[in-house]
Structure 1
Amino acid sequence: MEEKFAYIEGAEQPIAMHPKKFSLWLFMVTVVMIFAGLTSAYIVRQSEGNWLEFDLPAVFYYTSGIIIISSIFLHWAYLSAKKDNLMQLRIGMVIASVLGLAFLVGQWYSFVALVDMDVYLVGNPSGSFLYIFTGLHALHLVSGVIFLIIVLISSFRYKVHSQSMVSMEMCVTYWHFLGALWLYLFTFMLLNH
């Protein structure tokens, strides 16, 4: 009988993930698939010819810097939450949220700049793809900013701390993912416009 218990105690624990985190990872995989398909379609369509060449709006450089800085502040907030430094957590969350909103404003100005350059959603496929890339990313970023604000509010309600990190970890994962996705798209557009 003792051998039986010894065997059960020695059994390996299965790898477990919080169900909400698992759902987030599945969602991010689908987003990657969508953008992989779009970038593939871009390359195929570009090779067919009739492709308008134009410079990317300068605001894309600024928004790239904004999203990197926001990720740095969000990560600082995450590390502060792990140490139960609630003041730094809140400061980091506020700055990351404001920078997230600034990124969205920058994306709006990129659309204005494209119109000023006579690049429209309807017309040449190169402009259409650019609007789709940036617009679809901005749509996902809206959900990221909402997530940031939810976690920010939770931090003021003392619901984010070292013993309650699930929402914070998910927010950081998603925001870093959105930042990396933007940097990929921006680099792709720079190399293939």
Structure 2
Amino acid sequence: MNAETNSIEAKATRSVNPKIFTMWLFIVSIIMLFAAFTSAYLVRKAEGNWVEFQLPNLFWISTVVLLLSSASMHFALLAAKKDQFNALRISISITFVLGLLFLVLQYFGWVQLVEMNVYFVGNPSGSFVYVLSGLHGLHLISGLIVLIVALIAAFRMKINAKALTQIKICSTYWHFLDALWIYLFLFLVFNN
């Protein structure tokens, strides 16, 4: 009977939370989407007729803002692990505000692109910048929704040291969005 108990315990520890598994499937699908777009970018650039331009200065600033939001998200996870509920709520709120600020800066980065005569319609080099940054922005909006849900859960005391799944999902997804932007930004800087 002891061997049977160990077998049951071993099977239980190998299972994955369905919500976490779903999040990872979503992340993998996003990676595949952006891999396809960045591959298409390189293929189209190699064909010629490619206008080169500098990325807007606001894209640099928005990158720093997103890195700061990732730091505040990390503090939210640490606060949850220590049952520091006020710090948890404040950190999630700061992350949310920085996420919104990132989107605003991205929009005004697009305004800078227009001022540089880089449009969505026209040369594919500009089109790709709008598509890549716009798709990332849409995914960041989904991250903001996840943050709102986590913030509501934090106010209802549903996130604590014994119930970390929701904040772990939120944190992992937010850090992924941050890493995705860093990848896209560096890709555009070095391939534009």
Q: TM-score, normalised by structure 1?
A: 0.95
Q: Deviations over 1:19-70 (max 9, x none)?
A: 0110010000000000001101100100000000100000111111011100
Q: Which runs of 4+ in 1 moved over 4 A?
A: none
The alpha carbon displacement at 1:17 in A equals 1.1
For 1:133 and 1:175, locate their aligned partners in 2 and report how far apart those are by CA, in whole Å: 18
User: For residue 97 of structure 1, what is the aligned residue in structure 2?
Assistant: 96
* Separation in 2, partners of 1:9, 1:88: 41
Residue 80 of structure 2 is aligned to residue 84 of structure 1: no
Please give the residue correspondences for 1:27-42 in structure 2 after superposition, counting only pairs within 5 Å.
Answer: 27-42=26-41
Unaligned runs of 5+ in 1: none
CA drift at 1:13? 2.2
From 5, 30, 33, the equivalent of 1:9 is 5
Distance 2:116 2:15 in 1: 51
Q: Identical aligned pairs, as a percentage?
A: 49
Q: Distance in 2 between matches of 1:180 and 1:83?
A: 26
| RMSD of Structure 2 on Structure 1 (CA) | 1.0
Tell me what 2:59 maps to.
Answer: 60
Partner AA of 1:102 in structure 2: L
Alignment partners' CA distance in 2, 1:74 and 1:37: 29
Gaps of 5+ in 2: none
Rg larger in structure: 1
Whole-angstrom distance in 2 between the partners of 1:153 and 1:98: 15
Structure 1 stretch displaced more, 5-14 or 84-93: 5-14
Distance in 1 separating the partners of 2:74 and 2:165: 14
Alignment of 1:1-193 (within 5 A): 5-11=1-7, 12-13=10-11, 15-193=14-192
Q: SS at 2:11's partner residue?
A: coil
TM-score when scaled to structure 2? 0.96
Displacement of 1:6 in angstroms is: 3.3
1:16 deviation in Å? Answer: 1.2
What is the CA distance between 1:87 and its match in structure 2? Answer: 1.1
Structure 2 distance, partners of 1:7, 1:93, is 45
Question: Counterparts of 2:88 and 2:129 in 1: how far apart (Å)?
Answer: 36
